[in-house]
Amino acid sequence: MTTEERQVLETKVKNVLEQVRPYLQADGGDLRFVELTDEKVVYVELQGHCGSCPHSLMTLKRGVEAAVREAVPEIVSVERYS
């Protein structure tokens, strides 16, 4: 992936994450973009209540990842940064 391709994908992903954040914040949580790998895997850090919630994996996969992959189909997955 070229630097330009990475920047374009990263910008698209961050835009989607900004759209998802208000839903997480409404429940006392949040997330932070950490990195986009060459394999097109996005790492995010779940924060606040989302960081310790027993449903955080479901939120990450069915909520965040679903939204990102729908808007940016090139992304392979969204994973929790630890």
Domain boundaries, the chain: 3-80
CATH code for residues 3-80: 3.30.300.130
Q: What is the mean pLDDT of residues 62-68?
A: 95
76 pLDDT band (50/70/90 cuts)?
very high
Q: What per-residue string of b and e applies to 5-22 under the rule 16 or more CB within 10 Å gives b?
A: eeeebeebbeebbeebee
* Reported pTM: 0.92
Q: How many CA atoms lie within 13 A of 32 on its CB side?
A: 7
CA distance 77 to 69: 7
Q: Is the pLDDT of residue 37 over 90?
A: yes
Q: What is the pLDDT, as a whole number, of residue 6?
A: 94
